[in-house]
Structure 1
Amino acid sequence: MKKRLAGILLSCILAVSLTACGGGSDNSAAAADSTTASATTEVGGKVVRVAAVDPQVALDPQQFTYSIVMKITDNITESLLTTTADGLVPTLLTGMPSISDDNMTYSFELLPDVKFHDGTTLKASDVKYSYERLIKMAKMATLLENVVGYDEMSNGEAEELSGVQVQDDTHFTITLKKPYSPFLSVLSTAYCAIYPQEACEAAGDSWGMTTLVGTGPFKMDSYQNGVGVTLSRFDDYHGGAVKLDGVSYKFIEDVNTQVLEYQKGNVDYVDVDPSIYPVYSSNPELKDQMHGFQPTGNYNLLVNCKTYPDAKVREAIALSVDRAAICDSILHGTATVPTSYIPAGIIGHDDSLPEFEYNPEKAKQLLAEAGYADGIDLRVTVNTKYKGNVAIATAFQQQALAAGIRVEVEQVDSAAWSDMKKSGGVDCGISNWYVDYSDPESMLYPMTKTETNSSFWHNAEFDQLMEDGIATTDEAERQAIYAKAEHIMTREDWATTPLYNETKFYLLNPSITGFQMDATFRMFWKNADIQ
């Protein structure tokens, strides 16, 4: 569990880096000429150019869960299934798998003659190998913890995953230890992408650096640290003709420079940081090229339940945050005050709940009832890598005074932040969480085990509800189960409290059509074209 959580947390935290309003931003960018090219054709044909930060690691989601890694690899490698707005669809399969009456055995059939980029044919043994490698890599291993044989592999007693049985080159079964309703959604994640066994083993430590072979619409030509990644069209792609000739990821670290390069016509896609959103959203030449979407997740305030065991104190802390002010003044209207920890679009979200309120008078009353009539001292720890979180903590410091809460903002680097969270050294902290798959289990998973959740919270009823939720496939039952579980977590025990739901923005060259961005912040170029 610890390994899975550490991997997912890193993935989610790195999904977005916020910068404080005016904090080092060069707003003179607003005066730059908007000379975005009307078409994007480089030498070699139609090539989309994407501004990105340098991941500085192998392009291997089984080892490194940074969002930028998956933004690239999703166009090179593929999983058995893909999550779309309409639900799960088979990608490398002839159809959806059949499921046994006890909901524990899944039977799969691969599409015939699917080619990897090296010309070899996808086989069921590659699927088994990829899942066994995921467990051996450890980072995201517990995604497969419900598969028979997982325990033996994870503790070193076995070299193979016995729950995956290969019948022939295109047929295989996966057997679970117990019914697990999100299982197929798990298999759609980038962590469960299928690698060719022979090529992956031959590459060794260079996998994801100099070699990355998949079945996707584009193949990796080069990956240069500090420069970028170059992809070219895979002409034997099983999913039909790909219109683009390639995708070029250009590494540009500064958010202002990224947008300036877009305005100059040197890149075709760029994420817009909230700190500079007001500058560019008001630019008449760019506003129609600005696109927004809401990722499935949230930012939240974690409170250490060992340090603050009284739920009244934790509720008082939640009531002392003016979320509306943070959304307006720091996030420039790119975020909204949440009503629920489970975001809209996910089973368990409750539309009837009120927004989490700012009520310092009620907070003072709760503190008095808990024996703290003179208020409390609260140390809020933030990772300095994310400037926006520092700004939010500083705003909270002023807001909480009205509730009698004296906040000390402690700024630490990434290594210290990680160590402190694991050891229980964070009394209160700002974090974020995004689903890896569209299921409430992915949203609430971190809170199911006291040894892995950063609030060190335990509630037996909540844990049982989580078990009940994965055991049934009835959507109405799951809605009731997860809504109740969240209510316990955020409205009764106040183990964590949502801060805001954000909207992410990006600029896209209007000459490009068919680009797809999903709610888990994954981007796909296979259907894109340049007009």
Structure 2
Amino acid sequence: MKPLLRSATGGLCALAVASLVLTGCAPAGTNAAGAKEIVIGAVTEPSKIPDPIMDGSLAGYNYYFAEFEQLARFDADGKIGPSLATKWEHNADFTEWTFTIRTDSKFSNGEPVKPSDVAFTYNTIKANPTGDPATYMEMFTSAAVGPNNTVIFKLNAPFSAWPTITTGASIVPESVYTKLGSAGFAAAPVGSGPYMFDHYTHGVEYVLKRNPNYTGKQANFDKLTFKTVADADARLNGVQSGSLDVALIAPNQVSAVANSSSVTVKATGSNGVTFLGMNSTAGALTNPKVREAIGLAIDRDAIAKNLLAGKAQVDNQLVAKSVGGFNPAYPKAAFDQAKAKQLVAESGYNGAPIPFQYATNGRIPLSSEIAQAIQGDLAKAGLNVVLQGTDQGSFSQIIYGTKSAQGIYLNTYAPSTMDGDAPVASMFGNQQNDYAMLPATAALVAKTRTVSGQDRINAYTELFKFNDANTLLIGLYTPDTSYAVDPKLTWTPRADGMITVDSATFGG
């Protein structure tokens, strides 16, 4: 991705992301001029240009949820409610949805948000199938302006969870986006959220300022800055020194600051599952006995207890507890290294290297240590696994850009929509993590979209059991999400993993 040609200005001091000590910044909550601001330590930034039509990364959503509105929103506990839409209804078979749009919302340029902008946003997402948002809208066909300030969505199949999908699509102004295009809009975005774009310095920071045209409750801060800080120690030290106000930290860092006067730790259960992906069409992984052996050989409990300091839940069904489709009665993952060793012997495996790709920093805390532990477990089963760590940007390109994983890889999926459809589409619906591309899994994904309630959970269970039987992907664990927070800041972590500051305030 080419950097956007924007200069960094203002009272914030530049942050060297590799540094372990951050000094010289203004006190938390104020900049040098005394204006209120909040600085968030972001693990990474979008691998694509930050355009909400094309980008669906967690890093990007943190920006977009501040500067745009969506039709519906989740609260901190994961409960869905209205946002730009005031209400919605569906037809008998869930193939058509009608959303009523607020009449008082304005974009940051002063133009009103119209139903036509909503329809344009969704139709543009549909017209760009390589964009991230399009990957979780396979069921969406078209949007059109309806009577009485409504937008009518037509789907190609029944889908009872459509309102959860709308929480991930940020509404853009048709006039501006049409004029600027994707790259131009990313460089000068216009939204209707509580904050508006100020500047972006690729690799350093994404800065927002209060939107004076926002028609909801005015933002509590004059400025909101996302500092890109890949190193976990640098993020923690940033909060301790006062240069950051909120930052994700690794599980093994929590105990170190348990009694600190300069840091408060806040945690919540994650909405994402960390899993082992694999290219089942390459090398030794084409053999189902080798794949089964990999699943049996990994000591998930040891990873959760020892490496993650008990701040994770072993999970085998590829959607987290807080996400739609989760089955609390799903069978626990099996661990049997003796059987794994036997399967490797029976498979005829000849010792050929099996690449293990992962990001050394970024989305998965302690990823290198976890990769090394898995490598050790698989070595006990007789598998020759070769570690291939890289930076998060390069790894994301391998997984989501070129889809070119050569063996196994460490990945995670935390759906901002809090619904299982996006993860399972990516994993089994012929998308980024689906190398087998089996008609059977595609059919099972389609089945999950035609039912609701317990029937939908049962359909997910059927899909995950098929996965277990064929060992296409391997669920590992659902981590807790822990944050280092300035003690003077009142802030609540969210179940969907977004870092939002809607109700955050600094105390005295």
Q: TM-score, normalised by structure 2?
A: 0.82
Closer, same or farther in 2 for the Cα pair 1:483/1:423, shift >3 Å? closer
1:486-525 pair list within 5 angstroms: 486-490=464-468, 492-513=469-490, 515-525=491-501
Cα distance, 1:243 vs structure 2: 3.1
Cα distance, 1:324 vs structure 2: 2.9
Asked whether the equivalents of residues 123 and 169 of structure 1 are also in contact (C-alpha less than 8 Å), the reply is no
Provide structure 2 residue ranges, at least 5 long, that are not aligned to the other structure.
1-17
Closer, same or farther in 2 for the Cα pair 1:517/1:134, shift >3 Å? farther
Aligned CA RMSD, in angstroms, stands at 3.3
Which shifted more, 404-413 or 115-124? 404-413
* Alignment correspondent of 1:143: 136
For the pair 1:443 / 2:434, whether they are aligned, the reply is: no
For the pair 1:49 / 2:26, whether they are aligned, the reply is: no
Closer, same or farther in 2 for the Cα pair 1:394/1:351, shift >3 Å? same
Closer, same or farther in 2 for the Cα pair 1:489/1:356, shift >3 Å? same
* Alignment correspondent of 1:185: 164
Cα distance, 1:183 vs structure 2: 1.8
Matching residue's letter, 1:521: G
Cα distance, 1:278 vs structure 2: 5.2
* Alignment correspondent of 2:240: 263
Give the whole-Å Cα distance in 2 for the aligned partners of 1:497 and 1:463. 18
For the pair 1:483 / 2:474, whether they are aligned, the reply is: no
Asked whether the equivalents of residues 108 and 173 of structure 1 are also in contact (C-alpha less than 8 Å), the reply is yes
Cα distance, 1:486 vs structure 2: 1.0
Asked whether the equivalents of residues 269 and 509 of structure 1 are also in contact (C-alpha less than 8 Å), the reply is yes
Matching residue's letter, 1:440: G
Cα distance, 1:124 vs structure 2: 1.0
Asked whether the equivalents of residues 232 and 246 of structure 1 are also in contact (C-alpha less than 8 Å), the reply is yes
Instruction: Classify the secondary structure of the residue corresponding to 2:270.
Output: coil
Asked whether the equivalents of residues 275 and 473 of structure 2 are also in contact (C-alpha less than 8 Å), the reply is yes
Give the whole-Å Cα distance in 2 for the aligned partners of 1:47 and 1:419. 36
Instruction: Classify the secondary structure of the residue corresponding to 1:73.
Output: helix
Closer, same or farther in 2 for the Cα pair 1:455/1:226, shift >3 Å? closer
Matching residue's letter, 2:159: Y
1:262-411 pair list within 5 angstroms: 262-274=239-251, 277=253, 280-286=256-262, 289-306=264-281, 307=283, 308-368=285-345, 370-372=346-348, 377=352, 379-383=354-358, 385-386=360-361, 388-411=366-389
Give the whole-Å Cα distance in 1 for the aligned partners of 2:95 and 2:65. 28
* Alignment correspondent of 1:9: none
Instruction: Classify the secondary structure of the residue corresponding to 1:340.
Output: coil
1:121-200 pair list within 5 angstroms: 121-137=112-128, 138-140=130-132, 141-148=134-141, 163-167=142-146, 170-189=149-168, 192-200=169-177
Asked whether the equivalents of residues 40 and 511 of structure 1 are also in contact (C-alpha less than 8 Å), the reply is no
Asked whether the equivalents of residues 258 and 265 of structure 2 are also in contact (C-alpha less than 8 Å), the reply is no
Give the whole-Å Cα distance in 1 for the aligned partners of 2:50 and 2:432. 26
Cα distance, 1:344 vs structure 2: 1.1
Provide structure 1 residue ranges, at least 5 long, that are not aligned to the other structure.
1-23, 149-162
Matching residue's letter, 1:291: K
* Alignment correspondent of 1:160: none
Q: Structure 1, residues 407-441: CA drift from partner, whole Å, max 9, x if none? A: 33345676588558957662322222222322222
Give the whole-Å Cα distance in 1 for the aligned partners of 2:342 and 2:160. 43
Closer, same or farther in 2 for the Cα pair 1:178/1:362, shift >3 Å? same
Give the whole-Å Cα distance in 2 for the aligned partners of 1:410 and 1:266. 33
Instruction: Classify the secondary structure of the residue corresponding to 1:510.
Output: coil
Closer, same or farther in 2 for the Cα pair 1:313/1:178, shift >3 Å? same
Matching residue's letter, 1:238: T
1:199-210 pair list within 5 angstroms: 199-204=176-181, 205-209=183-187
Asked whether the equivalents of residues 45 and 203 of structure 2 are also in contact (C-alpha less than 8 Å), the reply is no
* Alignment correspondent of 2:102: 111
Q: Structure 1, residues 105-137: CA drift from partner, whole Å, max 9, x if none? A: 222221112111111111111112212322344
Give the whole-Å Cα distance in 2 for the aligned partners of 1:457 and 1:434. 22
For the pair 1:78 / 2:57, whether they are aligned, the reply is: no
For the pair 1:434 / 2:414, whether they are aligned, the reply is: yes
Closer, same or farther in 2 for the Cα pair 1:231/1:436, shift >3 Å? closer
Give the whole-Å Cα distance in 2 for the aligned partners of 1:488 and 1:530. 49
Closer, same or farther in 2 for the Cα pair 1:321/1:507, shift >3 Å? same
Closer, same or farther in 2 for the Cα pair 1:38/1:126, shift >3 Å? closer
Instruction: Classify the secondary structure of the residue corresponding to 1:479.
Output: helix
Asked whether the equivalents of residues 290 and 344 of structure 2 are also in contact (C-alpha less than 8 Å), the reply is yes
* Alignment correspondent of 1:239: 216
Asked whether the equivalents of residues 244 and 530 of structure 1 are also in contact (C-alpha less than 8 Å), the reply is no
Give the whole-Å Cα distance in 2 for the aligned partners of 1:301 and 1:253. 22
Closer, same or farther in 2 for the Cα pair 1:251/1:311, shift >3 Å? closer
Matching residue's letter, 1:338: D
Give the whole-Å Cα distance in 1 for the aligned partners of 2:388 and 2:221. 48
Q: Give aligned pairs, total.
A: 477
